[in-house]
Amino acid sequence: MRSTIIITALAASGAVNAGVTGTKNSKRATITPITTKGNTFFKGNERFYVRGIAYQPGGSSANLDPLADPKICLEDIKKFEDLGINVVRVYSTDNSKSHKECMEALADAGIYVALDVNNPLYSINRATPHPSYNAVYLQSVFATIDEFAQYDNTFAFFSGNEVIHDEAESTLAAPYVKATDRDMRAYIKARKYRAIPVGYSAADVSKNRMQTAKYFNCGTDEERSDFFAFNDYSWCKSDFKTSGWDVKVKNFTDYGLPIFLSEYGCTTNGRDFGEVSALMDPKLMTKVYSGGLMYEYTMEENGYGIVNITKGKDITDQTGKRIELPEFAAYKKALATYPAPTGDGGYSQTTKAQDCPPKDDDWLVEDNKLPEMPAAAKKFLENGAGKGPGLNGPGSQWAGDASPTTTGGSGSGSGSGSGSGSASSTASATQNAAGFAVSGPLNKGPFVVTGLAVLFTLVGAVAL
Tell me the backbone φ, ψ of residue 73, rounded to 5 degrees.
-70, -35
Average pLDDT, the chain: 86
pLDDT exceeds 90 at position 443: no
What's 142-203 look like in SS3?
HHHHHHHCCCCCEEEEEEEECCCCCCHHHHHHHHHHHHHHHHHHHHHHHCCCCCCCEEEEEC
- What pLDDT does 449 receive? 29
pLDDT digits 0-9 by tens, 245-292: 999 999 999 999 999 999 999 999 899 999 999 999 999 999 999 999
Query: Residue 73, SS3?
Result: helix
- Integer-rounded Cα radius of gyration of the chain: 20
Cα–Cα distance list, 364 to 131, 194, 403 (Å)? 19, 35, 20
Least confident stretch, 277-286, 401-410, 450-459? 450-459
Least confident stretch, 32-36, 157-161, 459-463? 459-463
The pairing of strands 307-309 and 322-324 is antiparallel
- What pLDDT does 433 receive? 56
Other Cβ atoms within 10 Å of 38 Cβ, number: 16
> Can you tell me the distance from the alpha carbon of 178 to that of 74, in angstroms, rounded to the nearest whole number?
35
pLDDT exceeds 60 at position 421: no
Show which residues are catalytic: 162, 263
Secondary structure (DSSP) of 253-314: TT--S-EEEEEE---BTB---THHHHHT-TTTTTTT--EEEES-SB--TTS--SEEE---SS
pLDDT exceeds 70 at position 337: yes
Least confident stretch, 103-112, 212-221, 438-447? 438-447
pLDDT exceeds 80 at position 422: no
pLDDT digits 0-9 by tens, 358-394: 999 999 999 899 999 999 999 999 999 999 999 999 9
Burial degree of 336 (CB within 10 A; 0-12, 13-18, 19+) = exposed
- What pLDDT does 22 receive? 36
- What pLDDT does 15 receive? 34
Query: Residue 370, SS3?
Result: coil
> Can you tell me the distance from the alpha carbon of 145 to that of 154, in angstroms, rounded to the nearest whole number?
10
Residues in the chain: 464
- What pLDDT does 129 receive? 96
The predicted model gives 390-418 an average pLDDT of: 67
The pairing of strands 154-161 and 322-324 is unpaired
